[in-house]
C-alpha cells in the first residue's frame, strides 16, 4: 500500500508541475466541417509535382475542401498570419504571367489560394505554422452547388514560390 500511495503522490506531483499548453488561439476559432465538395480537380490517385514536392490528388482535394469549408463558417474563418484562404485575383505575379482556365476569371475575388501540405490540410495554429511554397488555386462563388447540394468548386491549378521572384509565383503542371 505504501508503494501505491507513494507512486500516486509522485505521479500527481509530476502532472501538476508540467506546464500547461496554451490552446487559447485554437479555442477562439471554429473548426470547419469535413463536408464534401464537388470539383473538377485531379483524382485522388493523381500525382502532381510542384516545386520540390509531389502531391497526390487527395492532398489537393483536402486543401481545397478545407479552404471552402472555412469560408462557409458563419462568420467565415481564415488560417495563419496571411489569413488563408484569400483571393488570388490577378494573373501577373512579379512580372510572370500566370494562365488559369476560363472558369477561373482574373479580377474576381472568388478565385482563391490555399497552402498545400501533405497528408492533411494546412490548419494554422501552433502545431502547423509552417507550410511550404505551394498553393492550390480554386474558384468558388459561394452559390454554385453540385451533386447533393455540395459546393461546386472549380480547380484552377497549382503554383509555387520556388523558382519565382521574391514573393511571386510560377505555375506547376495541371495534374489533370
pLDDT for residue 169 is more than 50: yes
Residue 19: predicted pLDDT = 44
pLDDT band (50, 70, 90) for residue 28: low
Burial of 159 (0-12, 13-18, 19+ CB in 10 A): buried
pLDDT digits (tens, 9 = 90+) for 64-117: 999 999 999 999 999 988 899 999 999 988 888 999 999 999 999 999 999 999
Where are the domains positioned within the chain?
Answer: 43-171
Report the predicted TM-score, pTM, of the whole model to 2 decimal places: 0.81
H or E, element range at 50: strand 47-50
H or E, element range at 3: helix 2-17
pLDDT for residue 32 is more than 90: no
pLDDT band (50, 70, 90) for residue 174: confident
C-beta separation of 138 from 121 below 8 A: no
- The DSSP result for 102-151, as a single string, is TTS-TT-TTEEEEE--TTS----SGGG----SEEEEEE--S--B-GGG-B
pLDDT band (50, 70, 90) for residue 48: very high
C-beta separation of 70 from 142 below 8 A: no
| 43-171: CATH topology | Nuclear Transport Factor 2; Chain: A, (3.10.450)
pLDDT for residue 148 is more than 50: yes
Amino acid at each position: 500500500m505504501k508503494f501505491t500511495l507513494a507512486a500516486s503522490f509522485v505521479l500527481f506531483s509530476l502532472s501538476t508541475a508540467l506546464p500547461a499548453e496554451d490552446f487559447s488561439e485554437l479555442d477562439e476559432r471554429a473548426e470547419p466541417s469535413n463536408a464534401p465538395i464537388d470539383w473538377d480537380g485531379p483524382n485522388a490517385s493523381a500525382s502532381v509535382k510542384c516545386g520540390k514536392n509531389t502531391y497526390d490528388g487527395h492532398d489537393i482535394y483536402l486543401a481545397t475542401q478545407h479552404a471552402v469549408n472555412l469560408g462557409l463558417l458563419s462568420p467565415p474563418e481564415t488560417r495563419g498570419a496571411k489569413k488563408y484562404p484569400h483571393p488570388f485575383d490577378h494573373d501577373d505575379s512579379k512580372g510572370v504571367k500566370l494562365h488559369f482556365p476560363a472558369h477561373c476569371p482574373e479580377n474576381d475575388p472568388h478565385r482563391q489560394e490555399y497552402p498545400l501540405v501533405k497528408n492533411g490540410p494546412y490548419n494554422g495554429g501552433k502545431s502547423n505554422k509552417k507550410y511550404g511554397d505551394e498553393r492550390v488555386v480554386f474558384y468558388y462563388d459561394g452559390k454554385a452547388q453540385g451533386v447533393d447540394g455540395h459546393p461546386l468548386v472549380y480547380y484552377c491549378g497549382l503554383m509555387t514560390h520556388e523558382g519565382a521572384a521574391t514573393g511571386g509565383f510560377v505555375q506547376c503542371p495541371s495534374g489533370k
